[in-house]
A = this chain, B = another copy of it.
């Protein structure tokens, strides 16, 4: 039995205290912050949390003490939407875009999802895993303790399975909590352009059964947007996934008012993600549903498109969630602190709201709230310890600095 006692924490951001699965709207601003606090951990579990004034040292005699004077302690960040397994960065494509080339021209020159798919076919599973391990280590350094990883750069049976095998194999190499999502419906490959249904059948009737058989994914995802999959196709694919018990997470409304939000709600999707193109209709559809809106502000940052309407969503009482969308095309960065900074500076969220959206609400969007996302007795000991800081606001404020001191996953320092 390993016992740890974090003492003299300047400010402990618990996020929830009553075991809430998520928080919505203005409740997100209450981070359940405790000043001058301790956290007691046994093995991989938080056993007690309290104020230093009530700490009974004798009760924790056998514990290793860790002095957190001046420091903040936060729940580990939950990044609920990434494409962490990918074959190659795509900076050349970025330069083409800066030179004014259209998406189509770039695709012809070798850009876009279809070309990541081409690279993927040529990379060995070992190399892909090795590169993913590096990326996983990088995001742990940013404070991410739980990550969702999608397939979608394969677009063939073999390559989609390869991506998901790597995402699952990663669990044996890094302590991150990992959830995987099958995104065979990320784009229509060029050779299926004239027979979309044939590719959709491949996804649903060939890939999906194997994904399930080999226990490679827990969720299913579809890119429901202009130029990708239609609302009808999305519903068809999501329902196929539901038959196998896969919860749905949908790429919706990045490029157009695609109806992706509405079809997500209709299908009881766990989350609809992106939402750069969302107005009152999309927000109305989400109100009263069980579907979580997940915003990915670094996509707007990197592509120079509009940011999702986080404030309006929160005012409508929705449980806004934030994630990085780490991927080589539209969001080549995996830093949750930077995402929180963008949420504050560009979507007018308060720092504590951004923190809730990046911890507890992210956990809910992965159906992991029982285990992670807040600092409460009984939950897994996934924590971020910062440098000495006055308050959490310093993290989104100091957008260029790394203010994280140590990261703990399952009771062990990373």
Contacts A400-B334, A401-B138 given; indicate if A394 touches B98 (C-beta within 8 A): no
What residues of chain B lie closer than 8 Å to A304, measured between beta carbons?
A: 345-346
Nearest-neighbor residue (CB-CB) of A398 within chain B: B332
Contacts A302-B345, A350-B98 given; indicate if A92 touches B393 (C-beta within 8 A): yes
Contact indicator B400/A335 (Cβ below 8 Å): yes
Residue in A302, A338, A397, A400 with the greatest tally of chain B CB atoms within 10 Å: A400
What residues of chain B lie closer than 8 Å to A345, measured between beta carbons?
A: 301-302, 304
What residues of chain B lie closer than 8 Å to A302, measured between beta carbons?
A: 345, 399
What residues of chain B lie closer than 8 Å to A90, measured between beta carbons?
A: 397
Is A99 part of the contact surface with B, judged by Cβ < 8 Å? Answer: yes
Task: Tell me the complex Cα distance, A298–B95, Å.
Answer: 21
Is A228 part of the contact surface with B, judged by Cβ < 8 Å? Answer: no
Pick the residue among B95, B333, B350, B397 that contacts A399 (CB under 8 A). Answer: B333
Is A91 part of the contact surface with B, judged by Cβ < 8 Å? Answer: yes
Closest CB in chain B relative to A253 CB, distance in Å:
21
What residues of chain B lie closer than 8 Å to A351, measured between beta carbons?
A: 95, 98
Nearest-neighbor residue (CB-CB) of A394 within chain B: B91
A281-318 residues with Cβ-Cβ distance < 8 A to B are 298, 301-302, 304
What residues of chain B lie closer than 8 Å to A298, measured between beta carbons?
A: 399-400
What residues of chain B lie closer than 8 Å to A348, measured between beta carbons?
A: 98
4 additional A-B residue pairs with CB within 8 Å, beyond A91-B397, A94-B396, A99-B350:
A94-B344, A95-B350, A95-B351, A95-B393
Please, could you name 30 A-B residue pairs with CB atoms under 8 Å apart, sorted by A? A89-B390, A89-B398, A91-B391, A91-B393, A91-B394, A91-B397, A91-B398, A92-B390, A95-B350, A95-B351, A98-B344, A98-B348, A98-B350, A98-B351, A99-B350, A142-B400, A298-B399, A298-B400, A301-B345, A302-B399, A304-B345, A332-B397, A332-B398, A332-B399, A332-B400, A333-B400, A334-B400, A338-B399, A338-B400, A402-B402
